[in-house]
Copies of this chain bind each other. A is one copy, B any other.
Amino acid sequence: MKQTNEPGKIVVLRLNHRPYRDQRLTTHVCLTARALGASGVIVCGGDASSQISSVRSLGNAWGGSFSVVQKVSPLRIISEWKKDGGRVINLSMYGEDMRAPMSELYHVYYTLAQPLLVVVGSSKVDGKVYQASDFNLAVTHYPHSEVAALAIFLEKLLGNRAWGRPTPGSRIKILSALKTKGGIISRAENY
């Protein structure tokens, strides 16, 4: 019987964090990556230590193993990722419609089990990032949000895996989650 592969890990590379302007957005990139099944985020650009520590402290309460680190050179990270056998996906409104190469991506991720580095920008992204990426993928060709693009990419790629996973070590979970028509309101509880 053929051995089945565990799919490779997914890490998000957040480019050019600007400490004042992007403080909340970088946090939302991290939280979205975490909630929807990525293994971690690498932040490049200005100092993101407060965003990183807030995402880490969330991990303490909600469990799971999610890593957030800051590094200096995105191009070096990309080239090392590829040298290690991984694939690089740049999310950009200038890319091709994400839905077109989806079956190729499923093959890369599930069959070949290659780890994916998903690159999201903030301000204008260096042309070298486009050239170094295996895929440049767009969620619509309109300007919107790297958080939205990342969310839709992860949900499309991971399907059910994006919607829930065991989170060992969690101290919080949502106990009830009900549609309310004047009824019980869903709530989180510590346990």
Contact = CB atoms under 8 A, between A and B. Distances in A.
B24 A144 contact: no
Interface stretch (A6-14, A41-49, A96-104, A111-119): A96-104
Contact of A163 (B22, B99, B135, B186): B99
The copy count of this chain in the complex is 2
Most buried by B among A22, A148, A151: A148
A28 interface: yes
Given A35-B142, A148-B36, A185-B130, A179 B101 contact: yes
Interface string A148-171: 111110010000001110010000
A43 to B, nearest CB: 16
Interface of A: 21-22, 24-25, 28, 31-32, 34-36, 58, 62, 92-97, 99, 101, 127, 130-131, 133-136, 138-145, 147-152, 155, 162-164, 167, 173-174, 177-182, 185-188
